[in-house]
Structure 1
Amino acid sequence: MDLLEIIVLAVLQGLTEFLPISSSAHLILPSRLFGWEDQGLAFDVAVHVGTLAAVIVYFRAEIIRLLQGWLTTGFTRHPNADGRLAWYVALATIPAGLAGLLLNDWIEVNLRSTAVIAATTIGFGILLGVADRVRHGRAGLGEMTLLMAMVIGVAQMFALIPGTSRSGITITAALLIGMQRVDAAKFSFLLSIPLILAAGGLKTLELAEQSTAVDWQSLILGIVISAVSAWICIYYFLAFINRIGMMPFVVYRLILGAVLLLFFV
């Protein structure tokens, strides 16, 4: 990989992991436009490490509180708010984790096409816009219930379909069940931690089974760039989401999906 490929792909991964705009759709474009070859498994692992580092660093105070609450009160009859939220994150991760283990190979063979990615980019983009328009509640993380967490967790299963966007579908579900925008995004980001960790771990195991040489300089650069871009993305998304809403991302998804349909299908 040359420097331009490393920068573009790492920035795309860092931004699209957390913005509701679909990473699959964006990772198609560079290869189609510039004829780039697949970046390889090692680079996939590197950018996963970068985005994981970004979300952990950004939410470090919240993560420490959640772990403390879970360890001190999480196994009692009446866990405190932090212990309860920690359980919600853990339990809401289960549906997508199980679906990934059971369906990932089938999805890779049958759904990883430009036509599917274009359709889901548009379809789930429209659903995000509807959810933002009809949102009827102002619930925060403190008002979250187990049922709400599981609804979001079940919705996250759809992120296995390329073009859906993990953050997009979880934020959509959270808005539809009455959460306010910032807290919907925060729960989505916290929910990403175990899944990114699991995905990165599986890719690392696959990488360990390969005997190809590793370009450590490219990997380290990919980690740093994806981490920085992901941290910036999280910061500004949370800072401006109440002001701008979801419609800019909906419009962007519609345009992106149309471009894929018109020029790459």
Structure 2
Amino acid sequence: TLLFKETPYLHTAETMITYCIEDQILFPCDIFSTHVAVENLFSDEAGFDITEDFQGYYAAIIHPHRRYVRTLLEAVKDLEIRMIAPSHGFVIREDIRKYIEMYATLSRETTQGKKATIVYTTIKNSTKKMAKIIQDCLQENNIETEVWDADKSSATDILNSITSADAVFIGSSTKYADMIGNLENILKELHNMNLEGKLAAAFGSYGWSGEAIEVIQDYLNGTNMTVQSTSEVIKSTGMTHVEFPVRIRFSPKEPEKVQKIKNAAEFVSDLLLSSF
């Protein structure tokens, strides 16, 4: 008798685990795997401690999706498991809970005191609404967040906030194929600052083609911040539901638009809070 439970993004969107009830064997797809090429099938016959290989696989394949480890832990918490038979590497039949707990520990958010700065300009408040969604998501993840309207705030205050932040979101509405307001003055100043180690992301609303968002991305790429892009997300994690820059046509009213913004904010949150 087979029991199926969905565990998405560990490490692809359609991943699920399979549990054989009579034999108490968990078939977890790529989860709990190791990247090894050895003759011995079982971890207890390896002749060495597999922990380093186990953690190495986790770091390379699972950790970029660590938010979804919570779903996995919930799925297996009530299962009596006497063997884990993953798609890669050793079959585990001893110390089962040790390896499950290792995933719980490695995916835990232990880095505290992170800060984010959001700077925007807006025409009809659509980009402002995007900024608010990003802010709410970051704060839900216990990340201290400051939000600045570049047309209503002191440039000095904004730049000081960026200096003290761990992540920076910069957004604008698009008018005449460009940014609006005072935002460009802020972006020009970033080139003269040492911002190494900070995460950066561009966002904005638009009605036609949204050139301003791409201009912001270009400015950010000219700094020494780690700038988020769809290309890098795909290459580093395989995720296709996270997009950078975050581009929303018109107002972020529909649930799918809101979710698109949240996906990006949660991705940055995970990067900031990662303890691994």
Give the TM-score normalised by the residue count of structure 2.
Answer: 0.23
Greater gyration radius: 2
Structure with greater proportional strand content: 2
Greater relative contact order structure (CA < 8 Å, 6+ sep): 1
Give the TM-score normalised by the residue count of structure 1.
Answer: 0.24
